[in-house]
Amino acid sequence: MDTAWNVTEFILLGLTQKQELQQIYFVLFLFFYAVIVLGNLLIIVMINQSEHLNSPIYFFLNYLSFVDFCYSSVTARKPKTDFLVERKTISLGGCMAQLFWSYFFGFTEIFLLTVMAYDQYIAICKPLHYTTSSLFRNCTPLMVVASWVGGFLDSIVQTLLSIHLPFCGPNEIDHYFYDVHPLLKLACTDTYLVGIMVIANTGMISLSCFVVLIVSYVIILISLKTHSSKGRCKAVSTCASHITVVIIFFGPCIFMYLRSSTTFSEDKMVVVFYTIITPILNPLIYTLRNKEVKNAMRKLGSRKVTLGVK
């Protein structure tokens, strides 16, 4: 039994073994992470400071930006610092901790994007109910809490599936960060059943929420035929932002987790995309395509300038 658990640490091979490229990647990842932090914190500050951004969608966006910030901090911190060291190791406990937190924030974002689509459905298809019903607005914090709880429960399941696996060597993970599929390849046991459970937990949840989101937006777009041209343009612009975020977030997730534990050479780049690039794109998409957010940003900027002059 002891020999089945003689692996106490893992070695991450990362994106490349070339020292020159590692230094370049470190600078790039540090820059990208700074953009993620500044972009998402800007949205959080702007929403909390602006009295005009008080509808439920901005309440959700506030937490979505916070989740993006946390998700990138969890998934990119260790790989980023590993670019500076020759031996990239992590303890078994540290690996499981990163696995838990990455799935926690990842699942929470999935559920937040889903409830944001429901919010848009109510706002566009049932505008009177949306503006007059205090019940829906009071349910908004509960939907955010439900997203956090759902993320926690699914993350617990995913971590428990991995934590009981026996590892007896080798301990090198040929990946960008510590994910469940590379761990399954290192386990000293038949992982077919665990792999199926991973697909059922992560892959099917991602696919189910993606289908719900697409159906919701199809219904929304069909209902826009009865709106005025001005209202239609505003709704299409808002929906386009959400659909873009949904596609760039769910596409890589479905590609990664709706399949067996087989790994591909493209996996590293796909993971880099949804752990680094997506959290950068989210603030840009929501600010550049949203007139209310851009106006709030201008007012916040002019207010800072006025205070600085005084």
Mean pLDDT over 270-288 rounds to: 78
| CA-wise closest residue to 210 among 267, 179, 249, 257 | 249
DSSP 268: H
Mean pLDDT over 193-220 rounds to: 85
Task: Give per-residue pLDDT as tens, 177-203.
Answer: 777 878 888 888 888 888 888 888 888
Poorest-pLDDT segment among 33-47, 100-114, 217-231: 217-231
| CA-wise closest residue to 191 among 182, 178, 179, 202 | 182
Mean pLDDT over 222-250 rounds to: 77
- Band of the pLDDT at 27, cuts 50, 70, 90? confident
The whole model's pTM is what?
A: 0.84
Mean pLDDT over 130-150 rounds to: 77
Is the Cβ–Cβ distance between 261 and 195 less than 8 Å?
A: yes
Whole-number percent of the chain with pLDDT over 90: 8
H or E element in which residue 253 lies: helix 229-257
Is the Cβ–Cβ distance between 202 and 103 less than 8 Å?
A: yes
CA atoms within 13 Å, Cβ hemisphere of 207: 13
Question: Which has more pLDDT, 298 or 70?
Answer: 70
Domain residue extents for the chain: 3-290
Which CATH fold topology does 3-290 show? Rhopdopsin 7-helix transmembrane proteins (1.20.1070)
CA atoms within 13 Å, Cβ hemisphere of 151: 25
